[in-house]
Amino acid sequence: MSRRGLLRALGAAGAGAAGLALAGCGVPAAFVQPGDRAGRDMSARDKSLDFANWPLYIDVDDDDASKRPTLEAFTKHSGISVRYTEEINDNDEFFGKISPALMNRQETGRDLIVVSDWMAARLVALGWVQAMDRDRQPNVARYLDPQLLSPAFDKGRLHSVPWQSGITGIAYNRRKLGREIRHTEDLWAADLRGKVTLLSGLDESFSLLMQADGVDITRWTANDFHRLCDRVERLVRKKHLRRFTGNDYIKDLSTGDVLACQAYSGDVIQLQADNPDIEFVVPEEGAELWAESLMIPNLARHKRNAEALVDYYYEPEVAAELAAWVNYVCPVPAARDVLADSKDEELAALAEDPLIFPDDDMRKRLVISRDITSEERPELTERWNAIVGL
């Protein structure tokens, strides 16, 4: 199971309720002014840092799963030890862990975290994360994918740096379906009735479906969202949709219970290893490009050490090693050349995989969506969850 698949399994059931409960946290009283975000940085005399990440989201040694080669190489090179924890299983759940401290101007005990962009947007809006010093991050400045450089929630990526990226598109079994899928509209064909699934999470699902209606998802409106919901409700009433899923689509697609579904690019790479008939499509009308980003919480004790680790993962050789293991869209395009030059045939083949290094044609159809604001979230979540059954 992929890392993102695991998070769906662990988090899908509770994410809707948690999102509603926490949506009100963006109140003005919780906002932290820029001048109050930095703590005493102990990096110079304490060569360590605490790094919180998702499960299965970093390279591990083939013979010893407790070893993480890129982290060990960083420590050897820099002298900075890393306390690495796989404690993030769901964005809202993790937000619940760190929000009491951040709201009360206290440290979280973590120097570096990885969250999905929609959660990163919430943290930036609240002023709960620090801007990074790009003068100390020459690799980030040089190698960060230009398409990921300036999301609406964090212009210039001052507070966030993509750890990995990915695409929400369509997966389908071409052999069993007997034809190609090129458009999101193709999912609504009569012969797919009861054989299609959509993602249950609001933030994961709505952008692709809006693009099918020709909506510019960088500036979608509430009217666009409700029009989308009207359509999905009709599909539910007609029993066209088999169900809404977390990562369950992986099993359904593998068994043939589902012939086409909304899916994540990284999951499909792993499915294709076992079943070459599974294909992933970026529809002609477009798909959502997303990222999960590294951030430094307020009052972190080892900010400079954290900035050094972020920059280390933007060295093309290191980014290539990580990409070869996690199989999501690499935010360092220069890593492609590193893999292409590998004498290992499997590694060299990854350089040609558009789900890790999208080609120019695919990139033209990838868009980073505008995030749901804290003011919009309660109403939109309530409507979507009523449709999905959360």
pLDDT per residue of the chain (390 residues) written in tens, 0 to 9 = 344 444 433 333 333 333 333 444 444 479 999 999 999 999 999 999 999 999 999 999 999 988 999 999 999 999 999 999 999 999 999 999 999 999 999 999 999 999 999 999 999 999 999 999 999 999 999 999 999 999 999 999 999 999 999 999 999 999 999 999 999 999 999 999 999 999 999 999 999 999 999 999 999 999 999 999 999 999 999 999 999 998 789 889 989 999 999 999 999 998 898 899 999 999 999 999 999 999 999 999 999 999 999 999 999 999 999 999 999 999 999 999 999 999 999 999 999 999 999 999 999 999 999 999 889 999 999 999 999 997
Per-residue model confidence (pLDDT) at position 247? 78
Q: What angle do CA 380, 216, 124 make, to 5 degrees?
A: 60
As given in the structure block, the two tokens for residue 236 are 């539910």
Question: Residues in the chain, how many?
Answer: 390
pTM, two decimals, is 0.89
Q: What angle do CA 2, 174, 353 make, to 5 degrees?
A: 50
Which residues in the chain belong to E strands, given as ranges? 48-53, 81-86, 112-116, 161-173, 196-199, 241-245, 260-264, 278-281, 287-295, 366-367
Backbone φ and ψ of 266, nearest 5°: -65, -35
- The Cα–Cα gap between 155 and 165 comes to 17
- The Cα–Cα gap between 255 and 248 comes to 11
Asked if 215 and 261 touch (Cβ cutoff 8 Å), the reply is: no
Per-residue model confidence (pLDDT) at position 4? 44
Q: Kindly state the DSSP code that residue 107 receives in the 8-state scheme.
A: -
Backbone φ and ψ of 340, nearest 5°: -60, -30
Amino acid at 274: D
Per-residue model confidence (pLDDT) at position 210? 97
Annotate 21-58 with DSSP letters as a single string: HHGGG--GGG---GGGS-----TTT--EEEEEE-TT-S
